[in-house]
Structure 1
């Protein structure tokens, strides 16, 4: 079996899926207490790095995506598939799992 090397540029989402780079989680609380890895919550904010072509309609045409590469988004807490590439963490989501675009 041949080895496959994955990188962000080689991953292209299908349909209405997006590839999001997860933002770093908080290291300390507002009071200055340093959090151990086990106490950190999974972040829900990230930046879109790849976008699929869009969902297919009943007539076969593509529905345009509402988000684009570079958008910072807020997504559902337990949505998507977690992926680790080269030390960075990503999540593969469907467009319906994105709650808002953060400016």
Structure 2
């Protein structure tokens, strides 16, 4: 196996244990509210969670697969750069939620 060999998920690394490698969505800085109001990066808010897309998972991850959108606390992260792309490395327990698949267009919604 050469030094440039890639794993089956296309990443140049193999994740171990319960690790989850994610790529952040959007950028830090200004953002817009649902009503279109611009919120500056300097505005202070409570602890804000971030969305990211899963790029790879370790062998002991049970509830997450590559391609899932996950919600996590950006304060508890380790950043890594692979081939010029920025990623965040998390433990599975640091992921707060996995986004649900979209409901069919003709569905009436979800009820408890």
Gaps of 5+ in 1: 55-63
Give 3-state SS (helix, strand or coil) of 2:93's partner. Answer: helix
How far off is 1:100 after superposition?
0.1
Higher relative contact order (CA 8 A, sep 6+): 1
What stretches of structure 1 move > 6 A for 4+ residues in a row? 40-43
How far apart, in 1, do the equivalents of 2:86 and 2:49 lie? Answer: 11
Counterpart for residue 18 of structure 1: 20
1:97 aligned to 94, 99, 103, which one?
94
2:67 aligned to 70, 74, 93, which one?
70
Gaps of 5+ in 2: 101-112
Alpha carbon RMSD of aligned pairs, Å?
3.1
How far apart, in 1, do the equivalents of 2:85 and 2:43 lie? Answer: 17
Q: 1:48 to 1:77 in 2, by over 3 A?
A: same
Counterpart for residue 79 of structure 1: 76
How far off is 1:87 after superposition?
4.3
Output the TM-score relative to the length of structure 1: 0.66
Tell me the number of residue pairs that the alignment of Structure 1 and Structure 2 aligns.
87
Q: 1:40 to 1:68 in 2, by over 3 A?
A: farther
Larger Rg: 2
CA contact (8 A) 2:71 2:97 kept: yes
How far off is 1:29 after superposition?
3.6
Output the TM-score relative to the length of structure 2: 0.61
Q: 1:46 to 1:9 in 2, by over 3 A?
A: same
